[in-house]
A and B are shown apart, each in its own frame.
Chain A
């Protein structure tokens, strides 16, 4: 270990000094592991009570909606229940971050459409959480890029996104955690097919500026 190594090692240890698993955390673990073995009749009654209550609540809430949709014939056909099935296979990833000479930063964003659907007229946005004195907050400011071509089912595309240094200043925002959004149409260019996806990347993958 050289001097740099020793300093980093020391600072890492200093950084986490005082951090420990909380008592609530320990209790939560114990509670979770007790749960599966606790198969009492009482729990069974409780489960059924909750299930019946949930079903009643569901009917209570959906009947007015169904009546409304029947009465509004012109509002278009409702989407099938499985319309968004498999959408969890859509992934947005930050592959690489590169600082440019003009002070801006270029992010290589990968959109991996692992779904069986075509995504059309997609707009991808990037944003970074705002640093606060005692935490972080979401950032209403985003930078967006339109993707001119369709992203077909199973297709993976990479897009370079250059962020404006004036909007995302490192002193104000947490640049280590990018928030990515994608808005687009699923299969057909119809209003009811518009969808949005949101993903946070707490770390930037790729080689960065390593030679």
Chain B
């Protein structure tokens, strides 16, 4: 059981997670999923989960590392999630997903559009490494800590992922 002070501490910590990392986690999720609404859902779920799992946090990494790891895992789950409600009642035409207009003003900057389209097509294991390397600017050691994989695996995935992205971009309209 957590006493009142503990509960207050947890809430204060959650507030700091939202304030300090909320935007960054959403951007990582967006780069992974390429969908604003889904990335918002993912980050909400991560923050709620982090609050409930704070007691199990072993302090063997920073809060930021822990939250990024949860975000990447949540994105993976999200892409594989079953749509149970649609198994037997699926509509042929899904509803059009409206997106936030203010955010659209930014993301419609087409210069990076093609790159993110090609990034989204990469296998998950390359995509996560590339996002952490290029967007978060983490070192290979830090990436191996976030993803909990071997340093050499990070290195080979980074090389292969970079090559795969380069090949895709060269075949597309991207201006390199």
Contacts and interface: CB of A to CB of B under 8 A. Distances in A.
Contacts of A135: 96-99
A210 B121 contact: no
A198 B107 contact: no
Q: Which of A12, A17, A206 has the most CB of B within 10 A?
A: A12
A19 B14 contact: no
Contacts of B95: 137
Interface footprint category on A: 35 or more
B93 A18 contact: no
Q: Which of A4, A18, A137, A201 has the most CB of B within 10 A?
A: A18
A207 B157 CA distance: 10
B165 interface: yes
Contact of A205 (B51, B90, B106, B124): B124
Interface string B71-102: 00000001111111011101111111111101
Interface footprint category on B: 35 or more
A16 B135 contact: yes
A81 to B, nearest CB: 14
Contact of A25 (B40, B162, B167): B40
Contact of A13 (B93, B135, B176): B135
Interface string A1-17: 00011011101111111
Interface of B: 7, 11, 14, 18, 22-23, 25-27, 30-36, 38-40, 43-44, 47-48, 51-52, 78-84, 86-88, 90-100, 102-107, 109, 111-113, 115-117, 119-127, 130-131, 134-135, 137, 160, 162-167, 171, 176
> At the interface, is chain B mostly helix, strand, loop or mixed?
helix
A204 B126 CA distance: 11
A88 interface: yes
Contacts of B18: 21, 26, 29
A135 B31 CA distance: 16
A176 B121 CA distance: 5
A65 to B, nearest CB: 16
A195 interface: yes
Interface string A90-120: 0101000101000000000000000000000
Given A12-B31, A18-B105, A198 B135 contact: no
A155 interface: no
B99 A134 contact: yes
Contacts of B27: 16, 19
Given A7-B176, A12-B131, A201-B79, A17 B123 contact: no
B111 A196 contact: no
A208 interface: yes
Contacts of A201: 79-80
A33 interface: yes
A196 B18 CA distance: 40
Given A19-B27, A201-B79, 10 more contacts: A15-B116, A19-B30, A19-B39, A20-B22, A29-B18, A32-B44, A202-B34, A202-B38, A205-B123, A208-B122
A99 B171 CA distance: 11
A203 interface: yes
